[in-house]
Amino acid sequence: QQQVKQSPQSLIVQKGGISIINCAYENTAFDYFPWYQQFPGKGPALLIAIRPDVSEKKEGRFTISFNKSAKQFSLHIMDSQPGDSATYFCAASRNTDKLIFGTGTRLQVFP
């Protein structure tokens, strides 16, 4: 119940395309869903986060879509750029508990 399942494991997208990464969870008590971005040789960094009181959050080219009934949330990267090539982690937590990370998606954007 504590797991966050992330897919796909890797993703190749052409420049200008849409990258979509999906995550699913079981614990209905989760109330915070962040996405972290990690470049090679660096630590992960917070990209965008959402709480279940909204179904979508957009920051620039990055959008989180949240489906509470399906217990799923996804990251959409519009107009993907080579600079977006990184590993992306979804995560989930309850207010008083630790973050549970997904296993990561390696995104490669080719020119």
Partner 1 sequence: DAGVIQSPRHEVTEMGQEVTLRCKPISGHDYLFWYRQTMMRGLELLIYFNNNVPIDDSGMPEDRFSAKMPNASFSTLKIQPSEPRDSAVYFCASSANRITGELFFGEGSRLTVL
- Site of interaction with partner 1 (CB under 8 A): 32, 34, 36, 41-46, 49, 89, 93-104
User: Residue 7 class from Cβ within 10 Å (0-12 exposed, 13-18 middle, 19+ buried)?
Assistant: middle
Which CB sits closer to partner 1, 104 or 109? Answer: 104
Identity of the residue, 10 or 78, whose beta carbon is nearer to partner 1 in the bound complex: 10
Q: How far is the CB of 78 from partner 1 (least distance, A)?
A: 23
| Distance in Å, CB of 29 to partner 1, minimum | 12
Minimum separation from the CB atom of position 15 to partner 1 (A): 26
Q: Smallest Cα–Cα separation from 62: which of 11, 106, 8, 19? A: 19
45/78 with CB nearer partner 1: 45
